Amino acid sequence: MKIKIIALGKIKEKFLKEGIDEFLKRLTPYASVEVIELSPIEIKDENLTEKILEQEGEKILSHIKPQSYVITLEIDGKMLASEDFAEKIQELTNNGTGEIIFVIGSSCGIAKTVSKRADFKLSMSKMTFLHQFARLILVEQIYRAFKILKGETYHK
């Protein structure tokens, strides 16, 4: 299984970078995971937010192949328990999905064009997280999903 995480912005905090790197390392026996960091566009005028989100959306979509299964992280997405998330990954694997792409938008959200391209919209919580924290939580949950699927003990 090939997994890509497309995220706007770089991780600046050392502790977050170390946590993300640790889970990416732990994932190597289960899946090929690539993180693509895209530069967000600075919003200087709030009236231009939608236009800038669309420009960011174009950058995101340029990294997505037509056959890729896209999961966007969105506030209005579906919340899943860790076990259900693992089942979703298993279902995609069973269906022959070659690549899953997770998309984490900027602090202003995600472009409508990217949301429309999504095959599944995932919400991590009713709480709001910094997008850097969302990346750490996502890679941990992907790792947890593979441990659940293998019947290994991490998830308990």
| CA 126 to chain CA centroid, nearest Å | 17
* pLDDT per residue of the chain (156 residues) written in tens, 0 to 9: 899 999 999 999 999 999 999 999 999 999 999 999 999 888 778 778 888 899 999 999 999 999 999 999 999 999 999 999 999 999 999 999 999 999 999 888 899 999 999 999 999 998 888 888 999 999 999 999 999 999 998 755
Number of structural domains (the chain) is 1
Residue whose tokens read 């502790």: 15
CATH of the domain at 37: 3.40.1280.10
Residue whose tokens read 């600075």: 42
User: What sections of the chain are H helices per DSSP?
Assistant: 14-27, 49-61, 82-94, 112-117, 131-150
Question: Closest by alpha carbon to 124, among 79, 86, 154?
Answer: 79
Q: What is the pLDDT of residue 128?
A: 83
Map residue 76 onto helix, strand or coil: strand
38 token code pair: 């895209």
* DSSP secondary structure code for residue 39 in this structure: P
Range of the domain at 84: 2-155
Cα–Cα distance, 5 to 140 (Å, whole number): 13
Map residue 126 onto helix, strand or coil: coil
Cα–Cα distance, 156 to 144 (Å, whole number): 10
